[in-house]
Structure 1
Amino acid sequence: MSANTQHTLVDRDKALVWHPFTQEQTALARLPVVRGSGPWLYDEGNNAYLDLVSSWWVNLFGHARPEIAASIAAQANTLEHVLFAGCTHEPAVQLCEALNQMLPLELGKFFFSDNGSTAVEVALKMAHQYWRNVCSQERRLFIGFHGGYHGDTVGAMSVGAHCGYHDQFRSFFFDSVAVPFPETWLADQDVDAREAAALDALEASLKQHAGQVAAMIVEPLVQGAAGMRMCRPQFIAQAVALARVHDTLVIFDEVMTGFGRTGTRFAFEQTGVVPDFLCVSKGITGGFLPLALTITSDPIYQAFLSDTADKAFSHGHSYTANPLACAAALASLTLLNTAETTKAWQRLTQDHKSGLHMLLQTVPCIERVRQCGTIAAFDLPEDYPLAASQLHQCFLQEGLLLRPIGRTVYLMPSYVVNAEQLHNAYERIAHVLGAQADGARAVAPAMPEISI
């Protein structure tokens, strides 16, 4: 396509579309993406960009993956949708059966929704109502962790009140308590002390609010939107143990960490504990269609059974358990459970280690280097001359789709990125960061940093 056509598309977008997490007045031109193939995205000029953020963390097996596309197409010719209140259908049941085989026996009840925020919202509402149903007790308080981001619906924002993204809406929030999150990184000498302090703060909060806390919510192992902040599995296990001692339910928000991102199918597998609620979305359909699940235990489910409607869980959406999305998820899980995918996690883990080691040797200013499975991240110093929006543009010029979160640069590629592609990407990242002075002069002035 011609340059004029490209400009026309961007201008049309600018005239009509309101983009997420964007200050529209100062936003730079959009990248006009027309197609994807494997780990690559292509613009109208057929320029290729290596998608190193999995298009907001949803793309597991590459763009336009034929197996998932074929599953959706076949389902579209059979049943595109039916209301899920009073009806059921094969793709939904098959998906629950497939997930049931992957999860511990404790997690055997599946509630469908449409996105990660809503999966969390469902868990919060279930936890709140559970206590009222079982003991007529009104538990209105939730405990989370500083930096925890759980979505943009009102309940999800309330338990993520200390993540820094929702300050404009604080007047909407219900009460929640946040305790420290003991993030750690390579060669961290003080992690033991930070974990001890965080556990002390958690225990103090649980004691102070005894009988009032409906649930504790946590992103296990990695806080995504906070800047890929990582903690050790043993901390999660100890935090859950405290919650159990104080008769508090546990919600794991694995919207981002689920389906292999941390090197195991779910992050909780590395902790040795099982939550009362598991929230999943993003990668469940391989990046094709919106779908989410809140997965819980039979004892939680039983608490909602009654001869009267007042104890039922009154929540739902028009597109709940959409058959097309379920078909995509089934194809995605088939790919997930192959030996090839397990090898890809292992290979990505090692390729990240090599790339991060190279960056440490060539870009000495980087800080807090860290990795968890297929996710790698590092921070830039506070006096680094380029802002996140500027770095984003520099990376695009190198053919890399990367979206720094503040001072944090992270890589979360799909599982089809090969060793050569990732090595080349790390070299280009080193080139951009090493040319910081020239980059600061060449790129437009810094834009407001609100994007994730």
Structure 2
Amino acid sequence: MSPVGAALWRSLRAHQVYGANTDVGKTIVSTVLCNAIQRQTSQNQAAFLKPVSTGPLDDADDRHIQRHAAGTWTRCLYQFEEPVSPHIAVQQKKTTIPRDDDILASVHKTLSDWAGSGVSFALVETAGGVHSPGPNANSQADLYRPLRLPVVLVADSRLGGISSSISAYESLVVRGYDVHSVLLFRDEYYKNHEYLLNYFQKKSIPLVPLPSPPPKPATWNVDSLARDEEAMAAYYGRVAQKTDIMSLLEQLNAKNAERIDRLESMARRAHATIWYPFTQHHGMEAKDITPIDSAYDDYFQTFAESGLSPHESKLRATFDGSASWWTQGLGHGNPSLALSAAYAAGRYGHVMFPGNIHEPALSLAELLVQSIGNPRLRKVFYTDNGSTGMEVAVKMGLRAACDRYGWDASQEQISILGLKGSYHGDTIGVMDCSEPSTFNQKVEWYRGRGYWFDFPQVKMSQGVWKIEMPAHLHESLGSDLEFSSLDGVFAVENRLQSAAGKRYKEYIRSTIHGLVHKHGMKFGSLIMEPIILGAGGMLFCDPLFQRCLAEVVRGHPELFDPSATRPAQDPAQDPAPEVETAWSGLPIIFDEVFTGLYRLGRKSSASFLNVDADIAVNAKLLTGGLVPLCTTMASDEIFRAFSSPEKSDALLHGHSYTAHAVGCQVAVDSLQTMIRMERSGSWDGYRQDWTPTQTGTPAGSRGDVWSVWSHGLVSDLSHAPSVDGVFAIGTVLSISLKDIQGGGYTSTAARGLQQRLVSTSDGKFNVHSRVLGNVLYLMSSVTSQVEALRSIEGLLREALLSRR
């Protein structure tokens, strides 16, 4: 099933009617509004939709509309006769429970049909209060959120109604709804309308008090029913004469038009004022900018300006294929995380951090130390984002190395060891930790302080997992390797003693020896992005090569300083103690900003290598995609390198918003959610899809490496004529397109595929994606639904395989 887009038409003003509580008069308010629409002009047509209704059919809300708002189109999608909550009604009826997606799709289709049939005003009325459960026991506020219809809130005029009305309003706002109006009945004793009028006026939301309806009969029979019908008919006539509903309808109409006008102008206004990151603006036009009205789950709701028929919404669901630049973990608009952020904002706002502690920062630090799985990491340093977190990591590593080896960085250059294609951020310090590239070669302060190893890369091609050696290193590293499964590639412990493992180690050791002892270079840290080098082009490094690099660095301290007193050892031959926390050779820094915290299907991507870093940096998924936050974790030994009586020896790095409470609280809840998902087996279906079936797979590795993207898709795409290689791991799918120019960041080979995903054939949804030269990648959330992912896979198959 295609995802449901948000609902927005210029010709149809559609609103969702929510109640602050049960029995507050939602249907009476709906009737008043529909009557007013019908009276405006002969061209106006009102419609009323009740997605889910419970209770006797004769007393159903759509029947009431038919009796008292003549000419209004009405429809009820799911009717249950028991007068109980929908989630109980479906159980008592023992019928197939309609999925939330099915309810949404039915609502959207009904509104679309009405938009194409001349309906000018439509109300979608909920059941009960804002958080009354739907058929699947999910809060209505969450069930209907993807539609993001503007809300008509019916407040509560009874005792306690002020509190319930404001609570309902705040619940809607936290979920990203726009409340366009509030209506409630006058009660001259409690006078809730007077208090709420003042409350909502401050928020520029119109409130209209209505006369109280006649009381319901104490008993129901033919006579009382007839009297009630007469009384209600008289009531609606009185409301029409004495209440300025027409003015409210004009305001609702204006707000609908203003919303569309704002969306239509956004691209033009952005083109005039915004300087975008990683964007060459030369030749860029306003039409190249995509207005996003909202986002929910895995999808943006993007605005379409033209080419639409009257029944098509101006908003279309667009799969967020870059996971909003790798941050999205638990879905856009996640109500739990939004509530966590609101709680911390309400409890703290922001409080300065040095010398203080607050519960969210302490809880997050303890959770990371206890759960990350690295016994070396004992201290947590907070920063704002991945780049600044890596700045801190480099400061930590270089200080520790200089302290141990007695180097003076003010008198000599201290470099880093890394991998070609590495990218650790845009700030000046970490920019120097990457080799010259498109990202930094024109940055005036860039100096490039390091040596970067070329390395073997993993991909699937023609249905086979291949490890391709750099062409100029075949003599040193040997021939390309092939594996029948991805688990075989990751069987690092088994591969260590292979011919490839031995060649890797000797090549690394001899290279470092030459750099230090022949060229006089001094290295202060080894920095790696475990498994996948992200911004460099989704480069999938052979995990064995990274493991060997770490082992050579740790096992041969004499490579970096002849006076190193620790005897050289090969950990593969002489294993270190079970828990080793002291660094040897160089401090090892793992940049897990992109690859950490379940992006690759595991809490830490370092676990694929079975290497415990001395310093590790996490960001991106840390807060589930909601707010910026970064942690740099370090060992006690690294921490002690900054300890002295002198203030100048401290780690003098920080930000005004260091360890901001909102980010820390959201991160705690995000991490706990992902940990629960792992423990509960939420991803077991994906694991089974990737479990090797062939014999010869190393023991203990079956199903250990998996992806949300189907194994069949990866295999099929690897045979596509235009595909050079493909891989998937965790939530990441990477497709390298063939390019006669040789590929690289400046390549345009992937843009054709990118455009085909934007311009999908069915028009119901499309895919936003980013390209890195000849590489197009897609990422999902860890909460993505299988059906949604398989729909995306269908688009990829159509784009890459249909022309074979």
Please confirm whether the aligned pair reaches a TM-score higher than 0.5, indicating the same fold.
Answer: yes
User: Is the radius of gyration larger for structure 1 or structure 2?
Assistant: 2
Deviations 1:31-81 (A, max 9, x none): 111211111110232200111221100000110111111111011111011
Which has the larger displacement, 250-259 or 185-194?
A: 185-194
CA–CA distance in structure 2, aligned partners of residues 232 and 132 of structure 1:
30
Query: Cα RMSD over matched residues?
Result: 2.5
| Residue 33, structure 1, aligned to residue 302, structure 2 | no
Which has the larger displacement, 336-345 or 48-57?
A: 336-345
Match of 1:430 in 2: 797
Change (3 A) 1:436 1:342: farther
Is contact 2:748-2:773 (8 Å) kept? Answer: no
Match of 2:550 in 1: 240
Gaps of 5+ in 2: 1-7, 11-259, 304-313, 470-476, 481-499, 558-584, 687-706, 742-746, 761-765
Is contact 1:162-1:178 (8 Å) kept? Answer: no
Match of 2:423 in 1: 149
Is contact 2:458-2:467 (8 Å) kept? Answer: no
Q: CA deviation at 1:287?
A: 0.8
Match of 1:263 in 2: 601
Q: Which of 91, 113, 120 is 2:390 aligned to?
A: 120
Match of 2:178 in 1: none
**Higher-RCO chain (CA-CA 8 Å, sequence separation at least 6):** 1
Equivalent position SS for 1:159: coil
Match of 2:755 in 1: 393
CA–CA distance in structure 2, aligned partners of residues 174 and 409 of structure 1:
27
Q: CA deviation at 1:281?
A: 0.6
| Residue 172, structure 1, aligned to residue 446, structure 2 | yes
Match of 1:275 in 2: 613
State how 1:163-312 maps to structure 2 within 5 Å. 163-169=437-443, 171-186=445-460, 187=464, 188=466, 190=468, 193=478, 199-207=505-513, 208-209=515-516, 212-244=522-554, 245-246=556-557, 247-312=585-650
Is contact 1:141-1:214 (8 Å) kept? Answer: yes
Equivalent position SS for 1:265: coil
State how 1:319-358 maps to structure 2 within 5 Å. 319-339=657-677, 343-348=681-686, 349=707, 351-358=709-716
Change (3 A) 1:345 1:19: farther
| Residue 6, structure 1, aligned to residue 364, structure 2 | no
CA–CA distance in structure 1, aligned partners of residues 758 and 506 of structure 2:
44
Equivalent position SS for 1:43: strand
Deviations 1:416-449 (A, max 9, x none): 2222211111111222335789xxxxxxxxxxxx
Is contact 1:147-1:160 (8 Å) kept? Answer: yes
Change (3 A) 1:285 1:118: same
Q: CA deviation at 1:344?
A: 4.4
Equivalent position SS for 1:214: strand
Match of 2:25 in 1: none
Match of 1:359 in 2: 717
Equivalent position SS for 1:376: strand
CA–CA distance in structure 1, aligned partners of residues 416 and 672 of structure 2:
36
Q: CA deviation at 1:108?
A: 0.9
Q: CA deviation at 1:168?
A: 0.6
Is contact 2:599-2:621 (8 Å) kept? Answer: no
Equivalent position SS for 1:338: helix
Gaps of 5+ in 1: 438-452
Which has the larger displacement, 242-251 or 376-385?
A: 376-385
Q: CA deviation at 1:163?
A: 4.7
| Residue 58, structure 1, aligned to residue 327, structure 2 | yes
Deviations 1:140-181 (A, max 9, x none): 111111011111111211111245421112643252111112
CA–CA distance in structure 1, aligned partners of residues 505 and 751 of structure 2:
36
CA–CA distance in structure 1, aligned partners of residues 681 and 299 of structure 2:
21
**Kindly, what percent of the aligned residue pairs are identical?**
28
Deviations 1:123-147 (A, max 9, x none): 1111122233445323611111101
- 1:370 maps to a residue whose letter is F
Match of 2:725 in 1: 368
Match of 2:352 in 1: 83
Q: Which of 76, 96, 104 is 2:365 aligned to?
A: 96
Deviations 1:179-205 (A, max 9, x none): 112211123164563766765553234
CA–CA distance in structure 2, aligned partners of residues 270 and 189 of structure 1:
16
Which has the larger displacement, 125-134 or 81-90?
A: 125-134
Q: Which of 390, 405, 427 is 2:772 aligned to?
A: 405
Match of 2:400 in 1: 130
CA–CA distance in structure 2, aligned partners of residues 412 and 383 of structure 1:
27
Equivalent position SS for 1:262: coil
TM-score (norm 2): 0.52
Which has the larger displacement, 153-162 or 88-97?
A: 153-162
CA–CA distance in structure 1, aligned partners of residues 467 and 610 of structure 2:
24
